[in-house]
Chains A and B, each alone.
Chain A
Amino acid sequence: MAFVSSGYNPAVPMENRITDIGPRHFEEFYPPVIKANKGKWLYHEIIEPGVLVHVAESGDEVYTVRCGGARLMSGTLIREICDIADKHCDGYLRFTTRNNIEFMVDSKDKVEALKADLKDRKFAGGSFKFPIGGTGAGISNIVHTQGWIHCHTPATDGSGTVKATMDEMFTDFQDMRLPAKLRIAMACCLNMCGAVHCSDIAILGYHRKPPMIDHEYLDKQCEIPLAIASCPTAAIKPAKHELPDGTKVNSLAINNERCMYCGNCYTMCPSLPISDTEGDGIVLMVGGKISNRINPPKFSKVVVAFIENEMPRWPTMTQTIRRMVEAYASDARKYERVGDWAERIGWERFFEKCELEFTHHLIDDFRDHAYYTWRQSTQFKF
């Protein structure tokens, strides 16, 4: 493995440095039919799950085939995507905001060959490389995070929970049988990178034990006031600590009764590790959405306070998600998102229909807002 220079000279690092050029211009990558008809689209239609057509004022059409992607993908797979784009789409392609892959062709007679090619491609283990779907009233890709692949603060894994869930819900990726689109998101800790706080169903990694304190190193590794200020419930205060050898060090004290294990202090201070095999697991949330269609956007709400991490396939979690999706599919009205449905029938009925246990953990107790989530009414269902 011999070092190969790019041309960068470490002796004069600022020489020939190019900065602030930003991304490449999008127009370089528009397929000709997109460039020609931009801003002049008249309507669209979903021909079948995963296949769209857009029709322009000029009469031009663009057919889009949408495929699932694992988001975490190799250069080798990206090269295969490029080969497909070269073969069928003059080298053009795009990715969606849910990390699906879209191949576009400019006439209907090119669609079948593209679809047939995509359907045939599988990994050695048997899974589809490019399953077609993700359109209309179904379940599209899961917006997710790094998990144990790359992050230091997760309480669960991203890629694994997502693969397990998409396998369980796969037929709904390739179908459009639901009352409305159903968005699933996943975040491996409550920093909630991504869309957990605003999705129909959300998988959230969660801790259940206060952090450990590495007193010997804390004052060397951490800016103590930052760790104190990082706590939403003010559970952290500065404290002197005596090490076993009698040395007194500046450190922190955590009031375990006030800690709800958010892990934000560990984000700020490496001496407060929090992850734990039995303590960590999954919270499930439901009922969020971001579109303004009919009703304003909604936050997702916590409906399952804890499911343990069950590697590698998280069966309790996927079965609970399945139960919620089926209850929603059979009971909700056309165009109703999960949150619209739950609010119409009442949350007491939601828990009954989804066969979920309601526990005290689900009652809000964070600051003033909590009061507004209790029921100031005699209106309830038995």
Chain B
Amino acid sequence: MAKHETPLLDQLESGPWPSFVSDMKLEAEVRAKNEAGIEFQIPVDVVDDLMGVLELSYVHGRTHWKHGGIVGVFGYGGGVIGRYCDQPEMFPGVAHFHTVRVAQPAGKYYKADYLRQLMDIWQMRGSGMTNMHGSTGDIIFLGTRTEQLEEIFYELTHNLNTDLGGSGSNLRTPADCIGSSRCEFSCYDTNALCHFLTNLYQDELHRPAFPYKFKFKFDGCPNGCVASIARSDMSFIGTWKDDIRIDQEAVQAYIGGEIAPNGGAFKGRDWGAFDIQKEVIDLCPTECMWMEGKELKIDNKECNRCMHCINAMPRALRVGQDTGLSILVGAKAPILDGQQMGSLLAPFVEVNPEDDYAAVTEVIESIWDWWMEEGKNRERLGELIRRAGFQKMLEVTGIKADARHVSEPRCNPYIFWKEDEVPGGWERDVKEYRKHHKR
């Protein structure tokens, strides 16, 4: 028998999509029966009370969590999101309902035994409910009490060799696309770079030292499967400098209808026979492709590497072999001054694990040096760039201004010059001027 009536939530059990309500009921039932004989460290009926408070929110159309909550573990300034119910007498099981962010492996690959060990800790010391995963990438343990936080952290670090993720004004948990582990488009090993930088900057992740939050994301190519250009302050997107590799036989196989375009992504509808002219050549944004007899030609110098032709004919076209990444900076959601996507800062950066990715870390650290000093309280990097100017960022990173840095040159003539760029400087004597220009 359920602890609370949930007539509204019950309506979300029907329909084909996996029902979070059914899943919560399952967990509530497993806890109530406790066939595994677990010594639960927080109330047995925590999930019942979670459903109860959610049902009340469905009745009121308002949240029932109190504002904020500051909890954590010694040594760290973040990693746990504190939360308290605003009706603790009605729902004592969720009077404390803190979230623990747990660092996830790059690429979100797992082995069953590891996930089971995580759940052994979590079902005993927490609600047993999770998010797999938070938007930033963390494994989310959803709901526990303050006195369990150190216990969970001790078990995670001592028994599972696993750390917390980030929260607060610091480097948040970096995340990556699947990269070269299972994708032929990937221009670098996103898993390796993500893991390396996460470890290199552990201090910046666990102890807030920044004006505001800062995120890294790693995309293997411009398709953006981890959406770094929209969802990270520093976005690392794989690219290449040389020619797209063409297998002309495979091109003919596409033209002949032997291979479905786009890996078969359009199989659900009859779009007619594949037409390379219409579907690839005419859609190329730079018009740098053409057929010469039976040969597909690409003027690679004019290619902007948008990925369309490679996406459309993955068996015939491959990314180049001289690979690296582009760094774009400043993406953020609307608060405060409006949303931003990443703007291109470094068009091509070498990815070299042999020298600990020195070319990448140099850009990161010069950006941090600047933003940590100049950024205002709760000012994202993207807002500092707008306030101080893109030129200032180029100056601090030592990157030379380049036409690639703009989608178009400015149209207003309100141009600043540095004094030393102008012959004679700015110190002038009006008396000297008046000798030639009477008042």
What is the chain A residue whose CB lies nearest that of B128?
A75
Instruction: Flag the segment in B179-187, B355-363, B387-395, B425-433 that touches A.
Output: B179-187
Query: In the bound complex, do residue B267 and residue A29 qualify as a contact, i.e. CB atoms below 8 Å apart?
Result: no
Instruction: Flag the segment in A107-115, A236-244, A305-313 that touches B.
Output: A305-313
Instruction: Flag the segment in A37-45, A251-259, A351-359 that touches B.
Output: A37-45
| Chain B neighbourhood of A95, CB < 8 A | 108, 110, 132-133
Question: Shortest beta-carbon distance, B27 to chain A, in Å?
Answer: 4
Query: In the bound complex, do residue A39 and residue B180 qualify as a contact, i.e. CB atoms below 8 Å apart?
Result: yes
| Centre residue among A5, A31, A43, A123 by max chain B CB count within 10 A | A43
- Is residue B74 within 8 Å, beta carbon to beta carbon, of the partner chain? yes
- Distance between Cα atoms of A382 and B306 in the complex (Å): 34
Query: In the bound complex, do residue A2 and residue B39 qualify as a contact, i.e. CB atoms below 8 Å apart?
Result: yes
- Distance between Cα atoms of A190 and B335 in the complex (Å): 8
Supposing A127-B13, A280-B61 touch, asked if A8 and B265 sit within 8 A by C-beta, the answer is no
| Chain B neighbourhood of A197, CB < 8 A | 230, 333-334, 339
| Chain A neighbourhood of B108, CB < 8 A | 94-97
| Chain B neighbourhood of A311, CB < 8 A | 8, 58-59, 61
Instruction: Flag the segment in B195-203, B289-297, B346-354, B364-372 that touches A.
Output: B195-203
Contact string against B for A residues 11-34, beta-carbon threshold 8 Å, 1 for contact and 0 otherwise: 001101111111111101111001
Query: In the bound complex, do residue A23 and residue B162 qualify as a contact, i.e. CB atoms below 8 Å apart?
Result: yes
Instruction: Flag the segment in A143-151, A319-327, A342-350 that touches B.
Output: A143-151
What is the chain B residue whose CB lies nearest that of A232?
B336
Query: In the bound complex, do residue A190 and residue B57 qualify as a contact, i.e. CB atoms below 8 Å apart?
Result: no
Contact string against B for A residues 303-340, beta-carbon threshold 8 Å, 1 for contact and 0 otherwise: 00000010111000000000000000000001100000
Which of A14, A163, A275 is B19 in contact with, Cβ under 8 Å?
A163
Question: Shortest beta-carbon distance, B236 to chain A, in Å?
Answer: 14
Query: In the bound complex, do residue B20 and residue A128 qualify as a contact, i.e. CB atoms below 8 Å apart?
Result: no
What is the chain A residue whose CB lies nearest that of B21?
A125
| Chain A neighbourhood of B400, CB < 8 A | none
Question: Shortest beta-carbon distance, A297 to chain B, in Å?
Answer: 5
Query: In the bound complex, do residue A22 and residue B339 qualify as a contact, i.e. CB atoms below 8 Å apart?
Result: no
Query: In the bound complex, do residue A152 and residue B67 qualify as a contact, i.e. CB atoms below 8 Å apart?
Result: yes
Query: In the bound complex, do residue A125 and residue B75 qualify as a contact, i.e. CB atoms below 8 Å apart?
Result: no
Query: In the bound complex, do residue A292 and residue B224 qualify as a contact, i.e. CB atoms below 8 Å apart?
Result: yes
Query: In the bound complex, do residue A44 and residue B341 qualify as a contact, i.e. CB atoms below 8 Å apart?
Result: no
Contact string against A for B residues 203-240, beta-carbon threshold 8 Å, 1 for contact and 0 otherwise: 10010000000000000001111110111000000000
Contact string against A for B residues 281-324, beta-carbon threshold 8 Å, 1 for contact and 0 otherwise: 00111000000000000000000011110011011001000000
Question: Shortest beta-carbon distance, B264 to chain A, in Å?
Answer: 4
Give 18 pairs: A residue, B residue, CB < 8 Å, sorted on A.
A42-B318, A43-B315, A54-B184, A73-B129, A74-B27, A77-B23, A93-B109, A101-B132, A125-B10, A148-B63, A152-B63, A152-B65, A153-B63, A178-B268, A191-B333, A232-B335, A266-B67, A334-B279
A residues sitting closer than 8 Å to B (CB atoms) are 1-8, 10, 13-14, 16-26, 28-31, 34, 38-39, 41-49, 52, 54, 62, 64, 68-79, 81-83, 85-86, 91-97, 99, 101, 104, 123-131, 135-138, 143, 145, 147-154, 157, 159-160, 163-164, 166-167, 170, 173, 175-178, 181, 190-198, 226, 229-230, 232, 262, 264, 266, 270, 273, 275-278, 280, 290-297, 299, 309, 311-313, 334-335, 366-367, 369
